[in-house]
Each structure stands twice: as structure tokens, then as C-alpha cells.
Amino acid sequence: MSKQTYRVCFCCHRRFRLPVSEAPEDIKNLFELYSENGVMTAPQLNKFLLEVQKEHNATEEGAQATIDGLKHLNIFHRKGINLEGFFKYLFSDNNPPLSPSLGVHHEMTAPLSHYFIYTGHNSYLTGNQLSSDCSDRPIIDALKKGVRVIELDIWPNATKDNVNVLHGRTLTTPVELIKCLKSIREHAFTASEYPVVITLEDHLTPDLQNKVATMVTQTFGDVLFSPGSECLSEFPSPESLKRRIIISTKPPKEYLEAKEVKEKEKNDAQAGKNLGDEEAWGKEVPSLKGGTLADHKNGGDDEDNNDEEDLDDGDKSQHNAAPEYKRLIAIHAGKPKGGLEECLKVDPGRVRRLSLSEQQLEKAAITHGKEIVRFTQRNILRVYPKGTRIDSSNYNPLIGWMHGAQMVAFNMQGYGRSLWLMQGMFKGNGGCGYVKKPDFLLNTGPNNEVFDPRASLPVKTTLKVTVYMGEGWYYDFRHTHFDAFSPPDFYARVGIAGVPADTVMKKTKTLEDNWIPIWNEQFEFPLTVPELALLRIEVHEYDMSEKDDFGGQTCLPVSELSTGIRAVPLHDNKGEKYNTVKLLMRFEFLTL
């Protein structure tokens, strides 16, 4: 089909010529440089892979295999490939921006506290935080995507003789705990062999805690890592905990009867409508626009302490706790009494987990940034969404990561830009759900100094990104999806999510009426902390009268980018990869 027709009115039509995907000028020049008489042989392709793509393990045998794989395209030459074959190879799934051959390549024998861990919040919710259904389905979906921390809120059922999972004091419909546990057992290691942590928010009486202990031990058996009731002196490594389940919660205290607050829920739900007015692809993450942590306040000033109740080791109520339940807890959690200084104290003889809301972390980061980094070198910090995010939206994960927080907990059903960053970070290290923290977050200097997240740092490297072109929308979307009267007007947004100094977004020109946009634009991104930088890529379709349409996105860890010319697959707003849509881009790191 060479032309496409759009109806303008009852009697009028417009016809547009469909463009043919053609190699950009840079690709033509490279082909000419690495070929002879219009043919690129295996030795020449291998030289291109070594010199341009920086694939240091490339071989002539591999290059020949690539050429042989193009025979079916009717562009095969007996001695090699022509320009069209070279272009098709570069724009194929065999030339991704992250090398699948890397697999799990980070050191995995350090303590758990040395890793960022893919962490869910209220993992059982199917939608908003107030009235959606609770189910094991979101838990299964999260585990299949590599999430390694599952949160369950456990409450007595209506008759007080069994245990449900639900978001307490809300209208969410419950699901039985045993159903969630069985689903975790079945799907825990589908995507990754590395350990799954179950964080429990416990609202049970001692007799029901005993019942939970029986459920957990019978469901998981030898898979359960249960070191006893005492706190660990150091966390084990992900490698030593492969295919193990870990329980983390605060030591048990007496159950307090939940009060009916349905009128409050109704008011909160109404207020939530104002907070949930996101664009189809999610609002821009406020604190990614630059400035300091204190510059951005998204919502009310709620402390949101109810997620992790205060803990005093001398709490008399613990004497009533079920001993079998206490022995299940491998990672002890809780907030010691005495304020932030007490919370962040490092005990050389024991390790623990501390939880802070996103707002508590932002406030703490302003006054105690280095203390947070020091705490997270041995202990685990979990950050969770503030209570006003009843629409299940998320926040900027970089604030937690740049302070060493291991468990930055996200609503995995809260689609949008924040979740895209989370998905991008955990594409790293083979997608196993554990990413080793950069050394600067783990090291201590000769005078006991640690990394200062608020310090101004010099530029370490500059990432140069060339956006050549995109294709695939014509096949993955209806021809009137973007515009009822003409082909789409695409533009791309490219930028960095990272520490505030590195965070920026840039934009290409808009190309009108073209299913195969050819931008040929270059952007440079100076990076002070490339170890935490994520490359953000989005495509949108410009709409003069309404909001722009979403055309795809992806987010990639800069530290694992394959240099050279790469085919970058785009994903929908939920993070699912499109069948065909991709961009042709080039990545280069410039020496200073």
C-alpha cells in the first residue's frame, strides 16, 4: 500500500503517501566506510561491531552468523549484506540497547543492604487505595515482572477467626491471606531466583499471629529463611538466599480494634479525585525538574505514620506475642522512639529495617542526608508513598536511591512516569530485581566520612544521544488512532532522571503527517553521577486542540547502555513492550 486515505467530511477525502523506511544519512556513511562495492562482508561487519558498536567480544564467526540470519529477506548477497540488509540489522531486535548477554553480572555475595531491591507497596490492590478489590492477581503480576518485595496488610476477618489481606480502615474488599501466600510460593521465582521478601503490616491478635505462623511455615516449608527471633548482626547476601522467602515486619504487639471511619473515607475519596487528574501517560515527576529536594512538595504535609508503627524494644505488649510468629521474622522493622536521630542510629551488633514515607524522607534528607547514607550502608531503609496518594500514584524514586534506600516501595498498578523510572532501574543486572548500589554509597572515607547527596559534584562523563528515527506505529495502531484526519505528528522527548544536577528533559522537532518520523537530532547530557542516571525516552503525537497523544516510552539505566547505534523498543504506559514500535538511536560517552 503506497497511499493512505483519511475522511475529512462526508464527501471529501485526503490521501497521504506512505513513507518507506530508509536508512538515515549517518547509516549510509557508515556502511560506505565499512563496505566495498556496496557489499559488507563478515570481516567488515566485525570491524564495524568492534569500532563503532564497541562490542569487544565480537568475532568474525558471529558477524557471519548475523549475515546468514538475513538471508530470508531477499537482500542477501553471497559475499555479505547490502545497505538495506545492514539497516535492517541495526533496526532489528537483534541489536538492543541493553545487552542480554550480560545477564546477572553484579557481585551478588554482599549483604542485602548493599542492593537496591525491586519493591512493591500494598501489592494486593488492583486499583486505588480506598475502594478497589484486593486480590492475589497483582501479586502474581508483580512477581512475574521481577518484583522482589511484596507487601501484605494482614487483618482479622469479620468473624475474628481467620486472616485477610486488605487496606485497613478502607472500603477495599479483602482476599484471604492463605491465597496470597500460595500464589507467592507458586510464582516467587518465575522471573528471578533471588530472594523474595514479604513485608507484613500486622494488625493481628496473638492467637491469629500463631495462625499466620502455621500458614507461613506450612506454605513455604524449607524455602522460608527463618534465623530465629533475634535480630541479625548482618544481612545475608542475595546469592546465599537464592530461592528463599524472607519475612519482614515489626515485632508483634497487641491488636488494636480498628474503628469505623467510613465518613472519612468518603471525604478522602472525593479529595483524591483532584489528586488523580493525570494525563494518559502520567504527570511529569515534580522533583525531576531540577532544584533541591525542598523545592518540590506534592500534596499536603502529612506525616503518614500509620504504615510503620513506632517500636520500643521494651514494649510490654510484646510479652503477649506469639513466639512461633516472632521466630518467622528475619528482617526486624520498626521506628525506635526518640525522633529521627534515634531512628538513624547504627547499631554495630544488629541490623534492622526502618520505614519512612516519601515526605518524611524529603524532610530528613534536608537535615540528615549523610546520616541516612550511613544508616543504609548496614541497615535497610524502606520508603513508601504518602497517604494522600489514594489514586495509587507514585513519587520520585531517585530521592530514595541517592540516599541509599534499598526498598523504594511503589504502587505497581500506579502507571505513569514514576513507575517507568522504577521499571528502568530494574532492567539492570539482568532484570533479577537486585541492583548493586554504587560504591560511593557504600564506602567510608579515612575520616569516617560518607557520600553527601547535597554536595555539588564535577561532571564525570557526557552521554551523547542521537535520535535518528522511529517506526512501527503504523502496524501497532489503527490508522486513525492519533488523528482522524491525517497521519500522526510525532515528536520525541529524551532526557535524564538522576540526581538534581543531572536531571533534564529535551525535545525534538515535531514532524507532521508522517508514520515514520526521521528527526536526526543530537543531544548531550553532562552527568555528575552516571551510576544513578536513567535515560528517559518518550514519543508523543502533537495535537493542537487537545492534549498530545502518547506514542510510547522506555527508560534505561545509563550504566548498562550499549554504545553505538541501537534499536530501542518502546513500551506502553503500563510498561508492556509494543510489538513493532522502536526508535533507531546512537549512544556515545564523551571523554572529558
Residues recognised as catalytic = 121, 167
Q: Identify which of 574, 568, 509, 570 has the alpha carbon closest to the alpha carbon of residue 542.
A: 509
Give SS3 for 463.
Answer: strand
Q: Identify which of 120, 167, 121 has the alpha carbon closest to the alpha carbon of residue 145.
A: 120
Q: Identify which of 104, 100, 201 has the alpha carbon closest to the alpha carbon of residue 149.
A: 201
What would the grid cell of residue 562 be?
550499549
Q: What is the dihedral of CA 523, 529, 530, 535, to 10 degrees?
A: -50
CA–CA distance, 535 with 554 (Å, rounded to integer): 8
CA–CA distance, 390 with 392 (Å, rounded to integer): 5
Per this entry, what is the length of the chain? 592
With 0-12 CB in 10 A as exposed, 13-18 as middle and 19+ as buried, what is 49?
buried
Residues 6+ apart with CB under 8 A from 490: 470, 473, 510, 511, 514, 517, 539, 540, 541, 542, 551
Q: Identify which of 73, 64, 76 has the alpha carbon closest to the alpha carbon of residue 92.
A: 73
Give SS3 for 500.
Answer: coil
In the chain, the amino acid numbered 167 is: H
CA–CA distance, 354 with 199 (Å, rounded to integer): 12
CA–CA distance, 317 with 329 (Å, rounded to integer): 17
CA–CA distance, 208 with 98 (Å, rounded to integer): 47
What would the grid cell of residue 209 be?
499471629
Q: What is the dihedral of CA 219, 434, 343, 298, to 10 degrees?
A: -110
Please, are residues 543 and 513 in contact by the beta-carbon 8 Å criterion?
A: no
H or E element in which residue 335 lies:
strand 335-336
What would the grid cell of residue 148 be?
522482589
Phi, psi dihedrals of residue 512, rounded to the nearest 5°: -85, 145
CB crowding 261-275: b at 16 or more within 10 Å, else e: eeeebeebbeebeee
CA–CA distance, 589 with 402 (Å, rounded to integer): 22
Please, are residues 322 and 252 in contact by the beta-carbon 8 Å criterion?
A: yes
